[in-house]
Amino acid sequence: MKIPNFRWFIIALVFLAAVLNYIDRQALSLLAPDYIKKDLGLDDSGYASIVNIFLVAYTISYLVSGRLVDKLGTRLGMAVFVAFWSVSNMLTAAAHGLRSLGAFRFALGLGEAGVWPAASKSVSEWFPAKERALAIGVYTMGSTIGAVATPFLVMPLADFDFAQHLPLISHWLGQGAGWRMAFILTGGLGLLWVIPWLLLYRQPKQSPFATEKELKTLADSEAAELRAAGAAGTAAAQLPWGWRKIFTSRAVWLLLLGRLITDPAWYFYQFWFPMFLRNEHDVSKGGLTMMWPVYAAAGIGSVLGGVLSGHLIKRGLAPAASRLWIMLGCALLMPLSLLVARAAGPVAATWLAAATIIAALAWLINISSLVVDIVPKSCLGAVFGVVAAGSTVGGIIMNTLISSMLKPAGATAAATGFLDRAVDTLFGPLLHAVQGGGYGLWFTLMAFLHLAAWLMLWFGRIHKI
């Protein structure tokens, strides 16, 4: 049976995978302040440790998962990683302290990172150049939809009185049955997702659902890119990249550093913004559902970033150059971050944050599209993973800085968080300098990260590679 525009059915499945990815990720940051930290005896430093453990695993997985996806193929690679992270999320329900929680979140990070190289590879296989940024925006919007949906899914479960209404489950799960059940149920959804993915996904030419028109669109787009590259570029594009080529490529390092500098802005809103609202604006645990504009704005930015750069390509601008011009506009909007910390109340802070998130996610979509524009399909997974590893390194740096910023000036802690000792050896003076700066200092830094990264990419001539 032929289905017109079947590629959008494919991206809908990737979208759903991204929804589940972020539900499983965001559950911890929403449940930690009032449930998990209390039941497991964690403080802010312990929470930062758990987040960093997750991001270290994410970084490791990025470095190898892309290559694994290239070897296994998009269909099997995606299924393996979704199943692995779903089981890991379910096992989080068995956590009883810092070490066990860290072990399960480490496993979650190993699995979750693999979905993004696979997703980018599916876009390269199924979408022409003018639609790639939009396709990436659509599945990235899934992550924001997942973040919006998470509080409405996990908070009612965490508050449910299992001891009274379902005593058997309460006895089985023990203390904190509500938040533990939230991890079990959300992880189970990922295992269900694997079934339609394995049934529907194939390479375009092997798919029983792709029409001749769709196959011709893909072939014409590929031919146009090869003509634009010229004979030398075409020959180079057909050569697979080994690890030496990847790690000596100027393009890879520019994109890696670009994500290292800018992705911490999005990580902050995922991992720390709920605590910012709780601590700075005294928002109740039930009131955290008010964060929905932030994640809805991320969805808008994801799609808008793809639409705008796609429009420039249709008007004749080269794909890489179109991404950069949209990214410049995003960078010029990020100083709105300065107003978030100065907002009079949580509602104003949330809506101002939403405005900056539109720019941050539109930027993220276009820097991700640059990888697909520049790298050969045969090794796209590996390169995307290496570039995305810069993202998680930036997230680890952000977590370490914020952990230090939230300590009173001059205070010392008897027990440091994960990686704090190593980082303190290298960056001790910087960490002590920002200590006591609070969230306001981070919002100030966040205002100018994207502009600094854009200047690096422009003068590095990423659009000429």
pLDDT, position 80: 94
Domain ranges for the chain: 7-201+208-225+250-464
Q: Mean per-residue pLDDT for 358-372?
A: 90
Running DSSP on this structure, what letter comes out for residue 6?
A: T
Nearest Cα to Cα of residue 118 among 223, 208, 10:
10
Greatest alpha-carbon pair distance for the chain in Å reads: 72
Q: Can you tell me the distance from the alpha carbon of 137 to that of 131, in angstroms, rounded to the nearest whole number?
A: 10
Which structure tokens are listed for 140? 């990235």
Length of the chain: 465
Which residue from 350, 443, 375 is spatially nearest to 405, judged by alpha carbons?
443
Give Cα 261 to chain centroid, integer Å: 14
**Range 363-380 average pLDDT:** 82
DSSP 337-354: HHHHTT-SSHHHHHHHHH
Q: Which two tokens stand for residue 343?
A: 């907002």
What pLDDT digit, counting tens, does each position of 252-286 carry? 999 999 999 999 998 898 778 888 888 888 777 66
Q: Is the pLDDT of residue 332 over 90?
A: yes
What is the amino acid identity at position 239?
Answer: L
Nearest-angstrom CA–CA distance, 127 and 214: 9
- The 10 Å Cβ neighbour count of residue 237 is 15
Does residue 244 have a pLDDT over 60? yes
Map residue 279 onto helix, strand or coil. Answer: helix
Concatenate the DSSP letters of all residues of 386-450 into one string: HHHHHHHHHHHHHHHHHHHHTSPTT---SSPPTTHHHHHHHHHHHHHHHTT-HHHHHHHHHTTHH
Token representation of residue 272: 């720390």
Q: What is the pLDDT of residue 419?
A: 55
DSSP string for residues in 202-250: --GGG-SS--HHHHHHHHHHHHHHHHHHHHHHHHHHTSPP-HHHHHT-H
Amino acid at 359: A
Say how far apart CA 168 and CA 409 lie, in whole Å.
48
pLDDT of residue 391: 85
C-alpha 162/C-alpha 170 separation (Å) is 5
**What's the rounded Cα separation, in Å, for the pair 3 and 174?**
49
Question: Is the pLDDT at 315 greater than 90, yes or no?
Answer: no
Q: What is the dihedral of CA 99, 100, 103, 107, to 10 degrees?
A: -160
- The separation between the first and the last C-alpha atoms of the chain, rounded to the nearest angstrom, is 41
Q: Classify residue 176 by its DSSP letter.
A: T
Rounded-to-integer distance, Cα 332 and Cα 20, Å: 32
Helix axis angle for 74-91 and 44-72, nearest 10°, is 160
Please report the pLDDT score of residue 414 as a whole number: 44
Name residues whose C-beta falls within 8 Å of residue 367's C-beta, 6 or more positions apart in sequence: 255, 258, 259, 262, 323, 327, 457
The DSSP secondary-structure symbol of 272 reads T
pLDDT at 17: 95
Q: For the segment 413-429, what is each residue's pLDDT rounded down to a tens digit?
A: 544 455 556 666 667 77
Provide the mean pLDDT of the chain. Answer: 84
Confidence (pLDDT) at 176: 74
The average pLDDT across 132-161 equals 83
Q: What is the pLDDT of residue 200?
A: 93
Q: What is the DSSP letter of 32?
A: I
How far apart are alpha carbons 33 and 291 in whole angstroms? 15
The confidence score (pLDDT) of residue 452 equals: 96
Q: What is the mean predicted confidence (pLDDT) over 341-353?
A: 89
How far is Cα 174 from Cα 169, in angstroms, rounded to an integer?
8
Q: What is the mean pLDDT of residues 206-233?
A: 77
How high is the pLDDT of residue 15?
A: 95
Residues with Cβ within 8 Å of residue 421, at least 6 apart in sequence: none
Per CATH, the number for 7-201+208-225+250-464 is: 1.20.1250.20
